[in-house]
Amino acid sequence: MKHLGRLLLPFTLVAFSLLAANLYAQQTLIDDKFTEQQHLAFEEVQGSVMSPYCPGRLLKDCPSTAARDLKFDIKSRILKGDSAGEIVEDLLKEFGEDMRAAPKVEGIGALAWIAPGVFLLIGFIAILLWVRSQQQSSSTESEKASAQ
């Protein structure tokens, strides 16, 4: 039995190597067919959705084989003429709204876009008020010192 396993190991390694080479060749061939506009559409899609296979990562940053297969499917759809928006919407339908990399600017998602600006404005106003109060207290202290 051990002898059979030793004989099968090289054949198994060769089979997996050929499979990996075939998948790599398919990826290379599909990339060669892309125009600049199609490449930009692909970048838009993979940069605007989170990976369903690598939590917390964009699809473009996910190294898993499942993500690679999903990217291949996206490239195939782009070559067929689907727009980036159509592909993103289909991905969101399939995997859920949590896959969206940035919230929509509507409903509660609008708060995520507006809140940082509001907090920056509040912080800027607070700093201005503090600087003014420091200047006023410093000028009243200098007036008291000059009066003595």
pLDDT in tens, 72-125: 999 999 999 999 999 999 999 999 888 888 777 677 777 777 888 889 999 999
State the chain's mean pLDDT as an integer. Answer: 79
Is it the case that residue 19 has pLDDT exceeding 70? no
pLDDT at residue 75, rounded to an integer: 92
pTM of the prediction?
A: 0.56
- The sign of the CA dihedral 127, 132, 137, 138 is positive
Across 40-52, b (16+ Cβ under 10 Å) vs e yields: ebbebbbebbbbb
Q: Which residues contact 78 (CB under 8 A, 6 or more apart)?
A: 34, 38, 41, 42, 45, 84, 87
